[in-house]
């Protein structure tokens, strides 16, 4: 029987697409050579912390229990070799314990050959609109009939999540139109975020509305709930009825608009990444307020989120000398939000579900004639975390199948995972 590979400090599956062929070390660094010519180095302290033995992680939870500072000395490597299973075996001082490391896991976590581990799960593709454009659209008619965590479910979810992560938008079609169905669909991805509008909210004209969304008037491009510290990462809008004239949906990629502004009016772009606007709802019963720039960059200067909604913006309260430039920059942005080059327009059909990144995309709506029929959408919010976690689990299931398939045919896995 082939000797087995060691456990890893997680619940994932790690296909071994490359074999270790040689190992050398000094006290503080292990150097590994792979069969494709790659060389990888790992620090002794890093290996010690990421071991999978019972002194490092709780086997019941696979969460770390080791406190590095409790070691009596800095971990050092006494010896290292490749064992019969193809794993790395290391004897560590001062504890004098032998720790084994899985080659598939080591290869994936090869930080020596990874410039930036924070790359998005799916490359971000900015897009513009136009009359010939439409959202990525998938037939989801079998989704709710598929078993949770099944291959049939993954066949719909995987491309859907890929489109949301990469383009910020997907449209699923042919879903049931019973009220409340949205909760069952959303929970295939993750838990719903409740707000003061409820768990599911109904978007339709109603008497005594507490939002412009609940009227038949046009809505300008906006994100939802910019008044919150974390405005929701994802919005779901599920069409149950649509027989009115008008009411076309408009979507635009806020990242594309921001990038155009960065290129065409860099001063305005910089202003909108700096000035703290006040976002506030106007309500008789709630009083949400948050201050934020309209364009938020990460520490690498890449777009992280936009926060734009004219009807939820309170009075600007910034430095006196910033006010004129802040409004000039705002209007430079607003002009672009009206430009057809960014807008993607479509009509909802009953059974459509549009899912979009609410911290990236702006959505808008044409006015509709409420006396011509009914327009009823149900909506809900999730966080970006949920979609990333779900997508990672789908990738994990794929890797598990690869490992299972390979273990029934050969002791070596030859299919590459999505690894650096
Ligand atoms: Fe909205």
Expressed in angstroms and rounded, the spacing between residue 254 Cα and the centre of ligand 1 is 14
Is 414 within a domain? no
159 and 308 assigned to the same domain: yes
Chain segment 223-261, per-residue pLDDT in tens: 999 999 999 999 999 999 988 877 789 999 999 999 999
Expressed in angstroms and rounded, the spacing between residue 120 Cα and the centre of ligand 1 is 26
Domain count, the chain: 2
282 and 321 assigned to the same domain: yes
Q: Phi, psi at residue 74, to the nearest 5°?
A: -60, 135
Expressed in angstroms and rounded, the spacing between residue 20 Cα and the centre of ligand 1 is 53
Expressed in angstroms and rounded, the spacing between residue 409 Cα and the centre of ligand 1 is 52
- For 317, counting Cβ atoms within 10 Å of its Cβ (0-12 exposed, 13-18 middle, 19+ buried), the class is exposed
194 and 92 assigned to the same domain: no
Strands 137-139 and 169-173: parallel
Mean pLDDT of 121-128: 94
Expressed in angstroms and rounded, the spacing between residue 187 Cα and the centre of ligand 1 is 21
**Would you state the pLDDT for residue 71?**
96
CATH label of the domain that carries residue 166: 3.60.130.10
159 and 29 assigned to the same domain: no
Chain segment 367-392, per-residue pLDDT in tens: 777 677 788 999 999 999 999 999 99
Please name the helix (run of DSSP H) or strand (run of DSSP E) that holds residue 326, with its range, or none: helix 323-337
91 and 230 assigned to the same domain: no
Expressed in angstroms and rounded, the spacing between residue 379 Cα and the centre of ligand 1 is 9
Expressed in angstroms and rounded, the spacing between residue 377 Cα and the centre of ligand 1 is 11
Is 128 within a domain? no
The number of beta carbons lying within 10 Å of the beta carbon of residue 400 is: 15
Q: How far apart are CA 280 and CA 259, in angstroms?
A: 26
CATH label of the domain that carries residue 77: 3.30.2020.30
Expressed in angstroms and rounded, the spacing between residue 292 Cα and the centre of ligand 1 is 19
Chain segment 85-121, per-residue pLDDT in tens: 999 999 999 999 999 999 999 999 999 998 777 788 9
101 and 248 assigned to the same domain: no
Q: Does residue 156 have a cis bond before it (omega within 30 degrees)?
A: no
Residue 141 domain boundaries: 137-391
Chain segment 261-309, per-residue pLDDT in tens: 999 999 999 999 999 999 999 888 899 999 999 999 999 899 999 999 9
Expressed in angstroms and rounded, the spacing between residue 96 Cα and the centre of ligand 1 is 60
Expressed in angstroms and rounded, the spacing between residue 159 Cα and the centre of ligand 1 is 25
pLDDT at 411 over 60: no
Expressed in angstroms and rounded, the spacing between residue 243 Cα and the centre of ligand 1 is 20
Give the pair of three-digit tokens for residue 353: 């579900």
223 and 167 assigned to the same domain: yes
152 and 61 assigned to the same domain: no
Expressed in angstroms and rounded, the spacing between residue 309 Cα and the centre of ligand 1 is 9
Is 214 within a domain? yes
Q: Is 247 left (phi over 0), alpha (psi -120 to 50) or beta?
A: left
**Would you state the pLDDT for residue 187?**
95
Is 420 within a domain? no
Residue 319 CB partners (closer than 8 Å, separation 6+): none
Is 419 within a domain? no
User: Which residue shows structure tokens 């992280």?
Assistant: 304
96 and 191 assigned to the same domain: no
96 and 141 assigned to the same domain: no
Give the pair of three-digit tokens for residue 301: 């200067």
Expressed in angstroms and rounded, the spacing between residue 170 Cα and the centre of ligand 1 is 16
Give the pair of three-digit tokens for residue 263: 């290129």
Chain segment 307-347, per-residue pLDDT in tens: 999 999 999 999 999 999 999 999 999 999 999 999 999 99
Percent share of the chain, pLDDT over 90 = 81
Give the pair of three-digit tokens for residue 98: 């032998």
Expressed in angstroms and rounded, the spacing between residue 38 Cα and the centre of ligand 1 is 50
265 and 342 assigned to the same domain: yes
Which of 117, 148, 181 is at the close of a domain? 117
182 and 83 assigned to the same domain: no
Is 4 within a domain? no
Is 396 within a domain? no
pLDDT at 200 over 90: yes
**Per-residue pLDDT band at 414 (split at 50, 70, 90):** very low
Expressed in angstroms and rounded, the spacing between residue 363 Cα and the centre of ligand 1 is 6
Beta-carbon neighbours within 5 Å of ion ligand 1:
224
Expressed in angstroms and rounded, the spacing between residue 247 Cα and the centre of ligand 1 is 13
Task: Spell out the SS3 assignment of 159-205.
Answer: HHHHHHHHHCEEEEECCCCCCCHHHHHHCCCCCCECECCECCEEECC
Exposure string for 192-220, b = 16+ CB within 10 A, e = fewer: bbebebeebbebbbeeeeebebbbbeebb
At residue 246's C-alpha, the angle toward residues 244 and 250, to 5°, is: 125
**Per-residue pLDDT band at 409 (split at 50, 70, 90):** low
Answer for the pair 392, 248: CB distance below 8 angstroms, yes or no: no
Q: Mean pLDDT in the chain?
A: 92
Expressed in angstroms and rounded, the spacing between residue 235 Cα and the centre of ligand 1 is 9
Is 154 within a domain? yes
């Amino acid at each position: 029987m082939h000797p087995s590979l060691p456990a890893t400090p997680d619940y994932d599956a790690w296909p071994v697409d490359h074999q270790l062929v040689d190992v050398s070390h000094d006290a503080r660094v292990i150097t590994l050579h792979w069969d494709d010519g790659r060389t990888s180095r790992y620090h002794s302290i890093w290996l010690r912390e990421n071991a999978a033995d019972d002194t490092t992680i709780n086997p019941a939870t696979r969460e770390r229990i080791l406190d590095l500072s409790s070691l009596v000395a800095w971990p050092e490597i006494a010896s290292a070799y490749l064992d019969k299973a193809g794993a790395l075996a290391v004897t560590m001082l001062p504890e004098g314990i032998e720790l084994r490391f899985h080659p598939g896991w080591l290869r994936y976590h090869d930080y020596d050959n990874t410039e930036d581990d924070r790359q998005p799960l799916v490359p971000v593709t900015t897009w513009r609109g136009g009359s010939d454009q439409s959202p990525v659209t998938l037939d989801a008619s079998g989704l709710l009939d598929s078993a949770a965590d099944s291959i049939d479910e993954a066949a719909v979810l995987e491309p859907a999540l890929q489109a949301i992560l990469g383009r910020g938008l997907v449209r699923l079609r042919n879903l049931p139109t019973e009220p409340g169905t949205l909760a069952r669909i959303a929970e295939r991805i993750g838990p719903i975020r409740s707000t003061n509008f409820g768990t599911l909210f109904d978007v339709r004209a109603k008497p005594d509305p507490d939002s412009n969304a609940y009227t038949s008037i046009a809505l300008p491009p906006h994100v939802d709930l910019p008044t919150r510290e974390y405005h929701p990462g994802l919005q779901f809008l599920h069409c149950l009825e649509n027989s009115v004239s008008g009411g076309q949906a408009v979507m635009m990629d806020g990242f594309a608009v921001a990038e155009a502004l960065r290129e065409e009016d860099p001063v305005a772009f910089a202003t909108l990444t700096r000035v703290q606007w006040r976002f506030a709802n106007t309500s008789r019963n709630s009083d949400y307020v948050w201050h934020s720039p309209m364009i938020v960059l990460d520490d690498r200067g890449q777009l992280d989120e936009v926060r734009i909604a004219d009807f939820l913006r309170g009075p600007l309260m910034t430095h006196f000398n910033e006010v004129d430039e802040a409004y000039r920059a705002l209007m430079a942005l607003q002009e672009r939000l009206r430009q057809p080059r960014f807008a993607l327009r479509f009509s909802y059909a009953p059974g459509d579900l549009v899912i979009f990144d609410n911290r990236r995309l702006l959505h808008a709506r044409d006015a509709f004639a409420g006396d011509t029929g009914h327009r009823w959408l149900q909506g809900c919010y999730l966080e970006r975390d949920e979609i990333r976690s779900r997508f990672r689990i789908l990738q994990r299931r794929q890797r598990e199948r690869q490992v299972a398939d390979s273990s029934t045919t050969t002791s070596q896995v030859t299919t590459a995972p999505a690894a650096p």
